[in-house]
Amino acid sequence: MTDHEHHGMKPLEGMSAYCVRGHYETQQRDDRFGRLFGNLHPAYTPPATLREIGAKNGPMDGKSANDRTDSVPVGMVFFGQFVDHDITLDASTTFDSVVDNPGEIANVRTPTLDLDCIYGLGPEAQPYLYMQGGAFGGAKLLTGADNPGQAGLSDSDLLRSPNGRAIIGDPRNDENRVISQLQLAIIRFHNHVCDTLHAEDGYEGHDLYEKARRQTTWHYQWAVVNDFLVAMCGAPVVHRILGCGRQHYCGSVPYIPIEFSVAAYRFGHSMIPMKVQVQKGQSALELFGTILGSGFDPLTDPKGVVDWHELLFTPENRQVERAQKLDTKLAGDLLALPFITPPDENSLATRNLLRGNTFLLPGGEKVAEAIGCEQKTIDRVLKKVAKLSKTLPADGVPLWLYILAEAEAIGRAEQDGSTKEGEALGPVGATIVAETIIGLLELDDHSYLGANRNWTPRAEWDTLGKLVTVAQP
């Protein structure tokens, strides 16, 4: 019996999310999506307006502008994509079907930062991902270097099957060359950890796998919190959540909120540059060009080998390329993706905006009110949004668009109490992203924040830059 049926009452048939305040609550499950702000009414913007805003040559088209942040290395944006692939995959929804209850949508990935995109189902269920025999059997992961007959530059590539497809835990991590090389870097890090633990403590086989997986995963999680979240959300926001607790991401199981997956975590689309320099002294390459943009194929051009010292801060202290500023503009190439049809939906901006309608997301300014933003702060963001389109409704601003405008108008919280416009996420975006990711860790009894809050990383692996370069040839 539901609460609506108590005392002789029955639910009103036909009642929908549009005529009640909020949505029916469901028991949260770790294999389903959910809502952070289920009590807020869904916003709606006419699709024609959304297509106008997100169109090629429209108000969100940043074309080939080269306006970079001061402190966010461009590699951090691709690391954000890697994290996304580690925790979420919606393989069922479309633009033409309303999603009232996200609890009915399966999340194909585990919603924990457990690197299942690296380890798959483990050496027993997927032995073809791992070395066989000897001290490192069932412990080390295979790469292209372990398959000399593999097509292309196998020593610098992932393990691939004869048809060229990468043999990895998540095929999305081969969709472009940069993310493919990041997958390889983390596999190499795991293997380096295996070497270290074997040399220091003599671990072999299954015991070595378990010890190395935990060390690799915890160092990765540490980098997510202390490098990625600090860069994208601001140290004050991260420290406040860790020190004072989460206010909005609540419950007893880790889950992915749609406000995170459909809106807030798509902030990185604004920070992607048109070109990326991946090797020292070489020219920048088109991100969607033939060298970096072609995924699901063997690496054949040596120019596609990524030197992570060029994309992340590392002990080599090179002049690292920065990410684009976080604002309401996207690189022009992202608004005319060649691999998506129909043409009116090949803009990444348009697709993100349409998803807001599909998932019944609340308006950005309503979420801002819910997390306690001052009205003067909200007004600054709404003023920025109003400049994009005369047909955009004044109320119920699409959440993703609000978060981008907030980053441009307010910006990332800094240690001295100021904010820095365009550097990274503002208060709404930072709160959603940081609370969700920290919540995923705190609610996972296998993570370092869920299992051992006094754990600290080894000094030689304590930053993302060190992690991805320690085993780089």
Q: What is the pLDDT of residues 324-368, one digit of tens each?
A: 999 999 999 999 987 776 666 789 999 999 999 999 999 999 999
Domains of the chain with bracketed CATH: 22-469 (1.10.640.10)
Helices (H), 37-176: 47-54, 74-87, 116-119
Residues with pLDDT less than 70, the chain: 1-31, 89-109, 341-344
Q: For position 451, what pLDDT does the model report?
A: 97
Distance of alpha carbon 161 from its chain centroid, rounded?
Answer: 27
**One-character DSSP codes across 99-133:** -S-GGGSB-SS-SSSS-HHHHTT-TTT-GGGB--S
CA distance linking residue 426 with residue 325, whole number of Å: 13
Q: For position 24, what pLDDT does the model report?
A: 40
- Average pLDDT across the chain, whole number: 90
| Alpha-carbon torsion (139, 141, 145, 150), positive or negative | positive
CA distances from 355 to 345, 440, 460 (A): 11, 23, 42
| Alpha-carbon torsion (458, 459, 463, 464), positive or negative | negative
Q: For position 92, what pLDDT does the model report?
A: 46
Q: For position 103, what pLDDT does the model report?
A: 53
Q: For position 326, what pLDDT does the model report?
A: 98
pTM for the model stands at 0.91
Q: For position 102, what pLDDT does the model report?
A: 58
Residue 459 neighbours by CB distance under 10 Å: 8
Are residues 296 and 165 in contact, defined by beta-carbon separation less than 8 angstroms?
yes
Helices (H), 297-398: 348-358, 364-370, 375-386
Q: For position 6, what pLDDT does the model report?
A: 36
**What tokens does 387 get?**
């400049």
Q: What is the pLDDT of residues 132-163, one digit of tens each?
A: 999 999 999 999 999 989 999 999 999 999 99
**What tokens does 236 get?**
């004050």
